[in-house]
Amino acid sequence: MNTAYRDKEEQQDIYNRRIKAYKNEGMTDKAAIEKTNSEVQKPGYSEHETGLAIDFSNPSNPEDNEPMWEWLNANSYKYGFILRYPKDKIDITKVSNEEWHYRYVGKDIAKEMKNTGECLEEYINRVL
C-alpha cells in the first residue's frame, strides 16, 4: 500500500504540484489544469479524503507493480474493494486509468460489480 487517507491540504498540494509540473513542461494554465483534472481529483472531491480509497504501488521496486495489480484486479472484490478507474471505463468515469487506485464498497457490492463488469458510476446508475 502506498497511500490511503489524505486530508484536503495534502490533496491540494498534490493537485498544485501536478499543475506546476505541466506548466513547467510548457503547457498553458488552462491546458495544465484540464490535464490535471483528468488525473488528480480536486481537493474536497478525492476518495482518499473519505478514507475509502487505497493506492497500491511499490515506488522502490516498480517492476513488482504489474503482478501486484493483476492479483488485485482478480481478487480485491473478495475483500470488498474495486478497481476504481478501469482503463476501459475512462469515458464513463472521466478519470484516466489508475490501475493502483482501489475503493472499498463492501464485499457484496464488490462481488456484484466484478460479475457485471461495471464501474462504480454504472453500478450507482443501475441501482438508483
pLDDT by residue for the chain (128 residues), tens only, comes to 788 999 999 999 999 999 999 999 999 999 999 999 988 999 999 999 999 999 999 888 888 889 999 999 999 999 999 999 999 999 999 888 899 999 999 999 999 999 999 999 999 999 99
Tell me how far CA of residue 36 lies from CA of 14, 55, 95, 103, in angstroms: 10, 18, 10, 21
Q: Is 44 helix (H, G, I), strand (E, B) or coil?
A: coil
CATH 3.30.1380.10 assigned to 53-128: yes
Across the strands, what pairs with 81?
A: 104
| Residue 59: per-residue pLDDT | 81
In terms of Cβ atoms closer than 10 Å to its own Cβ (0-12, 13-18, 19+), residue 54 is buried
* Residue 45 confidence (pLDDT): 93
- Comma-separated ranges of CATH 3.30.1380.10 domains in the chain: 53-128
SS3 content of the chain, % helix, strand, coil (to 5): 60, 10, 30
Is 98 an annotated catalytic residue?
yes
How many angstroms from the chain centroid is the CA of residue 108? 20
Contact status, residue 103 vs residue 47, Cβ threshold 8 Å: yes
What pLDDT sits at residue 36?
A: 95
Report pLDDT for 61: 83
Angle 45-75-97 (CA atoms, 0-180°, nearest 5)? 40
Q: Catalytic one among 10, 98, 112, 122? A: 98
Radius of gyration of the chain (CA): 15
C-alpha cell at 5: 487517507
